[in-house]
Chain A
Amino acid sequence: MNANIHINPITRIEGHASVKIFLDEKGEVKKTRLLIHSLRGFEKFVQGRPAEEIPRIVTRICGICPWMHHLAASKAIDNCFDIRPPLAGNLLRELCHLLAHIGDKILHFFFLASPDFLIGPEKSHYSVRSIIGIAKSFPDFTSKIARMRQLVHEMLESFTGRSIHPVASVVGGFSKPMLEEERKELLKAASKLLDFALFSLEFAKKDIFGPNQDLFENLGTIETGFLGMVDNSGNLELYNGNLRLMSKDGGVIDFSPEKYENYIEENVVPWSYSKVPYAKIWGKGLSLKIDDPKGVYRVNSLARINVVERISTPHAQEALEEFRNRFGRPVQNTLLYHWARLIELIYASERVIQILNKKEITDPCVRKKAEPKAGRGIGCVEAPRGTLIHDYTTDKDGCIVKANLIVGTTHNTAAMNLSVEQAARSFINKGYIDEEIINRIEMAIRAYDP
């Protein structure tokens, strides 16, 4: 009998990870580990670089969410140099942030996750259980989602030059103003995105969540706290706001992102290149014991949907109410990350239209002149994969001397480990494993979109 099982690599995720499952002599799961293999040393090699270059370097942390790193770094460097962008600069940045959220959610939900539900994990060949398999079975549907993803990238390119590894957010604001013609074209495209977002949730309710109710109840479900961003009234916020930490019984603490070190701490563990943050403010330390975890909180869509009081846009608020009526608050079912993701897709689409309707968006003043200086700056946004924190210190020449980056998925390291263990325990019996079981364990990870 296999002493342990190594699922390597986890596929249809956006990073590099594998799962080790350790079995006892009877073949029952003793423990599991999600191993994060990738490490490229950004925190080290940004040292010595001029701070104004950082938003163009840290994009390469993630090619799927480069905008979020670009913007978190821009906000942090603004703070290092003590400068506030003009209103139009901030609006343009938020617009890009939201558009990038939309593209990311379409990619994750339809291209990476949906094959698990539409094709099913049952012994189907890998080439069938994929977006290519879906393209063969549902060609019109696939064309539609491919076109919508494409549309988002074209929208971003139309006024910022680049959609992958962007350059347009600069210290002090934005590199160019938006023209009225551009605004009108974008508004037309944005209404297509909103239609698609509304369609996506209806489609998923009927063809994905409905037929797979049992999976959504149980797979990878664990009990944890949650972390996400809110505005001053507790509304969902993705670009600029306070952070809210919710314990599993629903109690909340709000804090400014600049104070993150008082609330969360990163632990280094021997089995992962990703650090393991935990909620130090709860005072119980970190424990990954499946029956009594401590200090564990989650981020990303489900966490944000749990921590907010409401959503400021009408269609998304309606979707939130339906979600809460069915599942309560906070929701712990891991696969419901997918549902929460689609509520956010609607919010982001509605918010894009709101921003494009603001007359200030075309104001020609988009940037203030900065002066390099010594300082510390923290920039925080909600990336698709969770709360993203960039923290830099500059010297008197305005070059980086210290950097600390906590990326969305890192917050979920502890929780993903627990979900994997929960899934492995419920599917592996007497050491038996097959492709279907492997895929179900991977589904628990995929929900977090790491």
Chain B
Amino acid sequence: MKFIKVAQEWLGACSGCEIAMLNMGEKFFDLLKKIEMVHMPLLFDHKTFDEFQDAEIEISVVSGCVISEGHLHLLKKIREKSQKLCAFGTCATHGGIPSLLNSWSTDVALKEIFSSNSKKDHLTFPNKDLSGFLDRVYALDEFVEVDILLPGCPPRPSLIREFLSKLIKGDFPSLPNKSVCDTCPTLRFGKGRKGIIKRPMENPEYDPNEPIEKMRCFLEQGYLCMGPVTLAGCAFDDGPPCIKARTPCRGCYGPVYPVGNQMLEMMNALASVGIEWKTIIDRRSLLRFSGAHGLLGPYPGSKQNKK
């Protein structure tokens, strides 16, 4: 029996997506019995895509954002060698946390990082044998065609398993366009605390002996919660994990619709319940998981150096 070939690669990434994959536990090993894993640098000493024919790999699962020329080169090569490309995790689908860097040009940012502690007169800048940086942080689909989006920071292990099983069968899985609120059982009375957004300097009101069904919604308690504008997918049967930890959602699965804008949508959501969005101290943070696709740009007035 011929197994289908699957490759897994990481670009500008933290490896949390790969760890989530391993968190399938023994089921990860069961899955590996059904495929031929041809590349996965976390686990295998397989180094390059050069040996593969065009479109030889059935499925490539790629995590991370594109920030360097090296990433871009590798991404294009993977696209060439793969029939289907799955953007794996929110960095790959929407830029993820690294796309917060898009508030500056990369040149400006790097200069500062490498000058901060240097007492020398001239700046040593790493450039020897290293791949250069792009002008900003990109998601995969800004450069190549992406067939499947699996967002999440990281995606929940059971969701990864579901997607991979469907991919292996030849399907094109996707998440339904529901919001985190649609999967959150906290109490909503429809009339929240009007006025200003409270910064989370203390825990919300709740009884720790009761499940989250008995806790009042974060937004109605006056705290910023990105649930209304974030794609559902994180929740287990008993609700979203951050809410179970009694902390609000920060939007890690990206927008409910792939082309959405979490910042604008959140401002709308707040305005509609009578909260003054201008009282959010750092509105850029509303795009902290989805600042690619040109959504997060340099601060007004700052110089943008083009490469």
Complex CA–CA separation, A11 to B25 (angstroms):
21
Complex CA–CA separation, A165 to B20 (angstroms):
10
Complex CA–CA separation, A149 to B157 (angstroms):
14
What number of residue pairs across chains A and B have CB atoms under 8 A from each other?
233
Which residues of A26-44 have CB atoms within 8 Å of chain B's CB atoms?
33, 35, 37-41, 43-44
- Residue B208 CB within 8 A of the other chain: yes
The residue in chain B whose Cβ has the minimal distance to the Cβ of A366 is B203
Taking a contact as CB atoms under 8 Å apart, the answer to whether B242 and A167 are in contact is yes
Considering only CB atoms and an 8 Å cut-off, how many residues of chain A contact the other chain?
89
Residues of B within 8 A of A20 (CB): 129
Complex CA–CA separation, A166 to B16 (angstroms):
11
Interface centre among B44, B98, B250 (most CB of A within 10 A): B44
Taking a contact as CB atoms under 8 Å apart, the answer to whether A161 and B244 are in contact is yes
Residues of B within 8 A of A130 (CB): 43-45
Query: Residue B46 contacts which of A126, A165, A271 (CB distance < 8 angstroms)?
Result: A126
- Residue A367 CB within 8 A of the other chain: yes
- Residue B12 CB within 8 A of the other chain: yes
- Residue A131 CB within 8 A of the other chain: yes
- Residue A177 CB within 8 A of the other chain: yes
Taking a contact as CB atoms under 8 Å apart, the answer to whether A48 and B97 are in contact is no
Query: Residue A176 contacts which of B112, B153, B203, B250 (CB distance < 8 angstroms)?
Result: B203
Chain B interface size band reads: 35 or more
Nearest-neighbour CB distance to chain A for B307, whole angstroms, equals 15
- Residue A127 CB within 8 A of the other chain: yes
Contact with B along A382-408 (1 / 0, CB 8 A): 000000000000000111000010000
Complex CA–CA separation, A48 to B100 (angstroms):
11
Query: Residue A111 contacts which of B22, B41, B127, B201 (CB distance < 8 angstroms)?
Result: B22
Interface centre among A7, A41, A53 (most CB of B within 10 A): A41
Taking a contact as CB atoms under 8 Å apart, the answer to whether A132 and B126 are in contact is no
Residues of A within 8 A of B201 (CB): 52, 171-172, 369-372
Which residues of B254-303 have CB atoms within 8 Å of chain A's CB atoms?
281-282, 284-285, 288
Complex CA–CA separation, A271 to B41 (angstroms):
22
- Residue B82 CB within 8 A of the other chain: no
Contact with B along A53-86 (1 / 0, CB 8 A): 1001100111110100000000000000000000
A132-B118 contact, Cβ under 8 Å, with A66-B16, A146-B25? no
Complex CA–CA separation, A160 to B116 (angstroms):
36
Taking a contact as CB atoms under 8 Å apart, the answer to whether A111 and B43 are in contact is yes
Which residues of B219-257 have CB atoms within 8 Å of chain A's CB atoms?
241-247, 250, 252
The residue in chain A whose Cβ has the minimal distance to the Cβ of B155 is A164
Residues of B within 8 A of A50 (CB): 199, 281-282, 285
Contact with B along A123-146 (1 / 0, CB 8 A): 000110111100100000011001
- Residue A12 CB within 8 A of the other chain: yes
Instruction: Provide 20 A-B residue pairs closer than 8 Å at the C-beta atoms, listed in order of the A residue.
Output: A11-B47, A37-B70, A37-B131, A39-B67, A39-B110, A45-B109, A49-B285, A50-B199, A57-B100, A60-B16, A111-B22, A130-B45, A132-B44, A135-B29, A143-B29, A167-B250, A168-B245, A171-B200, A268-B117, A370-B201
Nearest first, the 9 closest Cβ-Cβ pairs linking A and B are: A63-B16, A161-B245, A150-B25, A45-B100, A63-B14, A161-B241, A44-B109, A60-B97, A126-B45
Chain A positions within 8 Å of B, measured between CB atoms, are 7-9, 11-12, 14-16, 20, 33, 35, 37-41, 43-46, 48-50, 52-53, 56-57, 60-64, 66, 107, 111-112, 126-127, 129-132, 135, 142-143, 146-147, 149-150, 153, 157, 160-168, 170-172, 175-177, 179, 265-266, 268-273, 275, 364, 366-367, 369-372, 397-399, 404, 439, 442
